[in-house]
Structure 1
Amino acid sequence: MSRSHGKVVLITGGAGGIGAAIARRFGTQGALIALVDLDEQQLRNQVQSLTELGISVKAWTVDVTNHTATTEVVQQVSEHFGSLDLLVLSAGLTQVSLFEHTQADVIRRVMEVNFFGAVNFVQASLPGLIASRGQIVVLSSIAGFAPLIGRTGYCASKHALHGFFDTLRAELTNQSVGVTIVCPSFVATEFATKGLQGDGSQINFDRSTTGRMLQPDQVADAIYRACQRRRPLVVLTGLGKVAYWISRVAPSWYQYMMSKRFSQEFDRQPIRTS
């Protein structure tokens, strides 16, 4: 019998490509799935798909930035399933625009979803996870440990996640709660097309990518394996691993190469100084 059999897995961003793939991966191993997302119709679609696979699943529509609502949802999940064993934080929002052309409210929105949304769910879930000696998995990015031009808000939110969860892992050692940070590179989902431009409007251009494009199921498989081993950090793909080490050993060279690769996304204008 799988070690995931009968475990309760709560997934934020559960209607998205990666979240749905994680639900399938754990659900087919006998886990009980709680999906959380803001997109009610997509949630319904995912529940139907998972149910057809014989997976036990229930969904909740909630805005992760609403502290009161997230607290209520976690309580309902625990009451419905009886416990909570794994919290997967997959909800996220990207931003693609040079900072000089980005409104402050856009940065705040990205931070609210990516960072404070995760904090909301951890705060509500922690008592249950301590009781079950469970685990937290947070979806980060290469942008969580290295700069990425045109994504100041997104990088800030992901760097914040690393600082928060690395520290939380140390705090929870004696409670036997695991914390895993997962850093994919580029994944074939609709995530980037639902992000924000500097004025707050939805992205309407193709993003630049580099290296091998991951499929959501590949990310889900990596997360499943990492959970079995309670790994603290998982950096996916060869490109991601190279970026991780170069950004530490030779940060200036990394910045040069990254800027050269991604600056073509933007129609640069001179910064006004007066």
Structure 2
Amino acid sequence: MYSLKNKVAVVTGGSEGIGRALVDVLLQYGARVATCGRNYDKLYELQKRHSGKPLMIHTADVSNEQDCQHFISQVIKTYGTIDVLINNAGISMRAQVMDTELETLRRVMDINFWGTVCCTKFALPYIIKNKGTIVGMSSVAGYRGLPGRSGYSASKFAVNGWLESLRTELLDSGVNVMWVCPGFTTSNIRNAALNKDALPTGESKMDEGKLMTAEECATYIMKAIEKRKRTMVLTSTGKQTVFINRFFPSLADKLVRKFYYKNGNLVK
């Protein structure tokens, strides 16, 4: 098992949802934690809640390369190194391809893919030195393209492929690279999902009360980090989707279509 006690763990997008839950559990595990987000007030509230604990907060937009570089630099100034990087910051979208402005796709890709690439690139020398862990927050949408989420699916496929390349390059280094797919989890990602015009939709089409909680998800991710797993897909629905799509892709097309559409309209 990989002990996290006194390790330096970095979580992007830690102001809410799964990211905030990861910050909570990492501090419980005895790690020294750094997190970033775009909303300073939410970060400040998180820091106040963990008063007296080793938590560094930093305002940053991971779609901006300079913000990523400055964030990682501040982590090094504060803690001197990095052992674990969890690329959690992300955004979704909800619009069909024929209606979607290209800016929506660019914005999703900039945050989900380039945010992961930039933060990992700047943190990599320290993680290699410590034989640490790099985590990418992927999705079932990274294994199976989902309707209304073309840009989101593309970004998660890209994250999976990029991290798999990196994992292979680092096989002999002692670094563990993994990507996790939370499945449908209670978070703000659906409310913040972009519409066709790259603006937040401000609503969720899912029954959030029936989804896995962010706290449960964070606990599973921490166990996967400790065991230095390669990949992890959560929820029975997520696992079934990946399995059916791999072995019965035509059936997956029909099942996914049925789940997201009603009377020819995208309803989820």
**2:206 is equivalent to residue 213 of structure 1:** no
Deviation per CA, 1:129-186, whole angstroms, max 9, x where unpaired? Answer: 0111110111111101012111100000000001000111001111111111110111
Whether the aligned pair in 1 keeps the contact of 2:186 and 2:208 (CA below 8 Å) is no
Which residue number corresponds to residue 17 of structure 1? 17
Cα 1:202–1:29 shift into 2, 3 Å: same
Q: Who is 1:246 aligned against?
A: 244
Alpha-carbon distance, 1:112 to partner: 0.3
Between the aligned residues of both structures, percent identity stands at 31
Q: Secondary structure at the match of 2:72?
A: helix
CA distance in 2, matches of 1:78, 1:12: 15
Does residue 8 of the first structure (1) align with residue 18 of the second (2)? Answer: no
Kindly report which structure 2 residues correspond to 1:129-144, keeping only aligned pairs within 5 A, or say none: 129-144=127-142
Contact 2:245 2:252 in 1 (8 A): yes
Tell me how many residue pairs correspond in the alignment. Answer: 265
Q: Higher mean Cα deviation, 258-267 or 227-236?
A: 258-267
Provide closer, same or farther for how the CA distance between residues 266 and 92 of structure 1 changes in structure 2, counting only shifts above 3 A: farther
Q: Which AA in structure 2 matches 1:13?
A: G
Cα shift at 1:49: 1.4
| 1:150 and 2:148 correspond | yes
Amino acid in the other structure paired with 2:184: F
Q: Which residue number corresponds to residue 272 of structure 1?
A: none
Q: 2 CA distance for matches of 1:98 and 1:12?
A: 28
| 2:135–2:179 contact (8 Å) kept in structure 1 | yes
| Unpaired runs of at least 5, structure 1 | 269-274
1:165 to 159, 163, 166: 163
Distance in structure 2 (CA, Å) of the matches to 1:200 and 1:150: 13
Q: Is the 8 A contact 1:142 1:243 kept in 2?
A: yes
Alpha-carbon deviations, 1:48-81, whole Å to 9, x = none? 1122xx5310101011122122112212201211
- The unaligned stretches of length 5 or more in structure 2 are none
Q: CA offsets per residue over residues 30-52 of structure 1, 9 Å max, x none? A: 1001011111111111111122x
Match of 1:57 in 2: 55
Which residue of 179, 203, 211 corresponds with 2:201? 203
Q: Could you say if the C-alpha distance between residues 106 and 82 of structure 1 is closer, same or farther in structure 2, counting changes exceeding 3 Å?
A: same
Give the structure-1-normalised TM-score. 0.92
Aligned pairs for 1:77-116 within 5 A:
77-116=75-114
3-state SS of 1:9 partner: strand
CA RMSD across the alignment: 1.8
Which residue identity does 1:35 align to in structure 2?
T
Deviations 1:223-253 (A, max 9, x none): 1100111101000011111111101000110
- Between 1:194-203 and 1:242-251, the stretch displaced more is 194-203
> Separation in 1 of the partners of 2:150 and 2:203?
18
1:255 is aligned to 253
CA distance in 2, matches of 1:200, 1:214: 27
Tell me if structure 2 keeps the 8 A contact 1:97–1:266: no
Q: Taking structure 1 as reference, are residues 225 and 130 closer, same or farther at Cα in structure 2, changes over 3 Å only? A: same
Name the CA distance, whole Å, in 2 between partners of 1:63 and 1:177. 26
One-letter amino acid of the counterpart of residue 214, structure 1 = M
